[in-house]
Amino acid sequence: MFSLGENLIMIKVLIVDDSAIVRKVITKELSKCKDIEVVGTAVDPYVARDKIVKLKPDVITLDLEMPRMDGLSFLSKLMKYYPIPVVVLSSLTPQNSQTALKALELGAIEVLCKPGASYSSKGIAKELEHAIKTASIARVGVNNNKTVLCKKVHQSNLLTKTTNKIVAVGASTGGTKAIETVMKGLPSTSPGIVIVQHMPANFTASFAERLNGIVDINVREACDNDHVVPGTALLAPGNYHMLLYRKGGVYMVRLKKGPFVHYQRPSVDVLFQSVAKVAGQNSVGVILTGMGADGAKGLLDMRNSGAISLAQDEKTCVVYGMPKEAVRIGAVNKVVSLQKMPREIVNSLNLLN
């Protein structure tokens, strides 16, 4: 980044995409942002490599399907030899959703839907601007395997009071790895878990499927009126808010469109506020890495209702935004490192009345 005048900090962006139309559309839209400058474009990773060295961009937008070298191979090499914030643009297909999740594993900061066949600029402009600004302040590589591995919880007796308890989790930038770390550390006997991760529609199903294959808890993308039961985690679908409600003695989730909250749908605040009303002192709220303030007020509602509220610490966050805001307004009972979060959730559940 460089300064232009006294206060304006310009974010230098390199666009890597084999489509001339996409490069043109993105360049045009980003040129409207007073604090973003497109310093160059590249048709493939080989051209991108040379331009990165020459132009030293702050952020790269990266297509995943390109000639000569695919985007994942390039991203892997980039994070090894020249770590830099990357925003991935991916087409909305099941195969590309899996590839996009792999990109997040390799170190990409954000994943956005690539402009469709009409290359409409309206749908992506604001999202891309927000993603680039988030990426420009993200800590690249903070959630690599060396920093987030935690010991698996094997003891079946760790959760002695699981009846009618709820764990609510919210995350954004860097959240896919953070959620994976938390879920890997929780036992299969855990109470029902509800999760909001800011992610485009269609990608959430792939993320849930991937988690389901690597953790002891059953994980799936939520459907309207799903039951929230022990040993199961429900992930809010992209483009839908998820709310907890209770029918008799059973917790269930409701999906709805509704207005965006903090520019997000699903919103962590919407989930947390519903958990505060329905589960109250029988719940644990967890806010993880992410840009902005989504979830802070909802977590405060949870704490005020008797829930135990936990926030990821700054050192292990990719972006210390959402947890920082929650701490600032007094919504957090305890700040915890990502590595220790699973154990702290278990301990908190055992403290609930």
CA 306 to chain CA centroid, Å, is: 26
* Residue 348 appears among annotated catalytic residues: no
* Residue 198 appears among annotated catalytic residues: yes
Active-site residue, selected from the candidate residues 172, 267, 274, 283:
172
Active-site residue, selected from the candidate residues 63, 90, 190, 198:
198
Active-site residue, selected from the candidate residues 294, 301, 305, 309:
294
* Residue 241 appears among annotated catalytic residues: no
Active centre residues (catalytic): 172, 198, 294
